Amino acid sequence: MSRMHRGPLLSAGVLLGVGLGGFVDGILLHQLLQWHNMLSSHLPPDTLVNAKVNMFWDGLFHAFTWLMTFAGLVLLWRAGQRTDVPWSTRTFAGCLLGGWGLFNVVEGLIDHQLLGVHHVRSGPSELAWDLGFLAFGLGLLAAGGALVRAGRHDVTPRGAPVAR
């Protein structure tokens, strides 16, 4: 059997995970629960002008997550055209979880801790919420890594029936 290349599937899954994880954050925490906006620690959305500025930055954030998702789909489509890329549900699901975890850890460290532009949920327990967000991200990274490792020996080529 020819050499299999997991890289294209790994890249696609991670980018899709980053994008979809960002959408979960933006839709759930920004829009539905309204716990924070991108700049809510510096510009609380308590006036119309501040709310509009926050909405603009939330839009840029959603544009970023859309671009990551789109790039992941492009890479997944390209991987699907290659017969040397093994189709592994464990590898792909692990990369999705890992990408989401990577998003949470990077966003949590940079936006919540380093820049302080917003917190998961402002108030007396904001550090606990921020640390919980980071812990959830680290858990996703660990679970994703375990799935990727479990799928490293999956070598089913594209279009072949999956062994059950």
29 inside domain: yes
Q: Which tens digits make up the pLDDT trace of 34-43? A: 999 999 999 9
Beta-carbon count within 10 A of 142 CB: 13
Judge contact between 98 and 14, C-beta under 8 A: yes
Q: Which tens digits make up the pLDDT trace of 97-108? A: 999 999 999 999
45 inside domain: yes
Q: Tell me the two tokens of residue 16.
A: 């899709």
Tell me which residue has tokens 């464990």.
90
Domain count of the fold of the chain = 1
Instruction: Give the domain extent around 78.
Output: 7-100+140-150
Q: What does the alpha-carbon distance between residue 56 and residue 66 come to, in Å, rounded to a whole number?
A: 15
Share of the chain above pLDDT 70, in %: 94
Query: Who contacts 117 (Cβ-Cβ below 8 Å, separation ≥6)?
Result: 38, 39, 40, 41, 42, 111
118 inside domain: no
- pLDDT at residue 155, as a whole number: 81
131 inside domain: no
Provide the pLDDT confidence category of residue 153 given band limits of 50, 70 and 90: confident
SS3 44: coil
38 inside domain: yes
86 inside domain: yes
Judge contact between 99 and 14, C-beta under 8 A: yes
